Amino acid sequence: MTDRRRINGPPSGTRPPVFAAGADRPAVRPVRQRQPTELRKLFLKTGLIPSASGSAYLEFEPSASLAAARATPTSLIPPSSALKLTCTVHGPKPLPRSAAYSPNLVLTTHVKYAPFAARQRKGHIRDASERDLGVHLETALRGAIIAERWPKSALEITVTILEAEDDRWYGDAPDAHDASWGMMNVLAGCITAASAAIADARIDCLDLVAGGVAAMVYAEEEEEKGGEEPRGRKLMLDTDPAEHRSIGSACVVAYMPARDEITELWLKGDSGGSHEGLIDGAVDAARGAHGVLAEAVREGLSVTN
């Protein structure tokens, strides 16, 4: 069924371009240049959208390979991508008359990818993964907001992802270790940006909640040997899935350093009993993001005052 409220393309549908394998220049997987505990730089700015009560824009630093590809473009296929998203907060506003009484602030979150955000064109209607991200984001923020200060009110948080992270390197075929790893980075970015936007909207919170990602990554050489016991697993913070051949498990946390509290935890994959380390790694990544977050919020306040 066609969506008559939008402009649809050709009725028979279109196919994404297929690139011929260039024999002269084989594609090379980007290599992680950072230390295992080194995080990507992130750019965070609040108060960019004047019509919203609070807003934030977040951008990850492009990986070394992407930066090189941008400086001297040779291939049309980007090696990896860097997260870019905007977050707006509208409210607190009164609940509609028809709504039931609520003693707390009613929080709604929407996460939407732009159609051009990922390698595959995204639809206009929210799909399951976007709704999933919205629910995760809501739980992460609900633990931080002091909701009982706004009875009968609603707060609407909208995240628009302009550029998402890849789930794997584009040259890899989907395999057993495959999951939507990129989504976890996106969630961490959403949490950090939403937290900045909420602070920008002057909503009372227990602390600024920051998102962090850590992953157990199989070392390349172990993978080559095809060993049955993956001993070469390494903990990496803030992983870019395009840079790793296979990721064993990954974890996102939403973390408040002031109370040493985790409001949201999402662990995926086979952690092989080492999930404690994985969570600690994610918390470390979140601490790093929190430093930037606090600085951005402080900066936003000094501009308005």
Partner 1 sequence: MVPSAATPSLSLPPAQFASLQPHAYLLAHLSPPALSNQPSIRANGRSPSQFRATSANAGSLTHANGSAVVRLGDTAAVCGVRAEILHTDDIASWSVSSSTGAGNKRRKLSGEDPEDPEESQIQDLNLLVPNLSLSTGCAPGFIPGAPPSALAQSLSHQLLTLLHTSRLVRTDDLRIWYDVPDLEGAGQETGEAMDVDVVDKESSLKQPRKREIKAFWVLYIDVMIVSLAGNVLDAAWAAVLAALRDTKLPRAWWDVDAESVLCSNRVDEARSLLLRGLPVCSSFCVFEADAAAGWRAVVLPTSIEMEQNKQQQRWILADPDGYEEGLTQERMCIVLDKDQSGNPVIVRMEKNGGWTVGKEDLRQLVDVSAQRWEEMKTVLKW
Task: Select the span of 77-85, 203-211, 212-220, 266-274 touching partner 1 (CB under 8 A).
Answer: 77-85
Number of residues that bind partner 1 (CB under 8 A): 57
Assess contact for 225 and 301: CB atoms under 8 A. Answer: no
List 1, 17, 98, 221, residue binding partner 1 (CB under 8 A): 17
| Using rule CB under 8 A, residue 93 touches partner 1 | yes
Encoded tokens for 146: 């002091």
CA separation for the pair 220, 108 (Å, rounded): 42
Packing angle between helix 181-200 and helix 128-142, nearest 10 degrees? Answer: 50
Contact residues for 25 (Cβ-Cβ < 8 A; gap 6+): 74, 75
Among 94, 115, 171, 227, binds partner 1 (CB under 8 A): 115
Report phi then psi at 276, rounded to 5: -60, -50
88 binds partner 1 (CB under 8 A): yes
Q: Could you say which DSSP state residue 63 is in?
A: P
- Identify which of residues 158 and 271 has a Cβ nearer to partner 1 in the complex: 158
Longest CA–CA separation in the chain, Å: 67
Stretch that binds partner 1, among 20-28, 98-106, 276-284, 297-305 (CB under 8 A): 20-28
Instruction: Indicate whether 305 belongs to the interface with partner 1 (CB under 8 A).
Output: no
Tell me how far apart the alpha carbons of residues 182 and 192 are, in angstroms, rounded to a whole number.
Answer: 16
Interface residue with partner 1 among 42, 141, 143, 158 (CB under 8 A) is 158
By the rule CB under 8 A, 50 interacts with partner 1? yes
Q: Which of 160, 178, 262, 301 binds partner 1 (CB under 8 A)?
A: 160
Interface stretch with partner 1, choices 86-94, 99-107, 227-235, 276-284 (CB under 8 A):
86-94
C-beta separation of 284 from 236 below 8 A: no
CA angle (74 as vertex; 224, 182 as ends), nearest 5 = 50
Beta carbon nearer to partner 1, 162 or 294: 162
Closest CA to 249 of 216, 200, 282: 216
Work out whether 273 is an interface residue with partner 1 (CB under 8 A). no
43 interacts with partner 1 by CB under 8 A = no
Q: Residue 195 interacts with partner 1 (CB under 8 A)? A: no
Return the range that interacts with partner 1 (CB under 8 A); candidates 98-106, 113-121, 146-154, 181-189: 113-121
The number of beta carbons lying within 10 Å of the beta carbon of residue 301 is: 14
Q: Where are the alpha helices (DSSP H) in 99-180?
A: 128-142
Degrees, nearest 5: CA angle 86-165-255: 65
Q: Under the criterion CB under 8 A, does residue 20 sit at the interface with partner 1?
A: yes
Among 45, 48, 151, 275, binds partner 1 (CB under 8 A): 48
Q: Which residues bind partner 1 (CB under 8 A)?
A: 5-20, 22, 25, 48-52, 55, 66, 73-78, 81-82, 84, 86-88, 90, 93, 110, 112, 114-119, 121, 124, 126, 156-160, 162-163
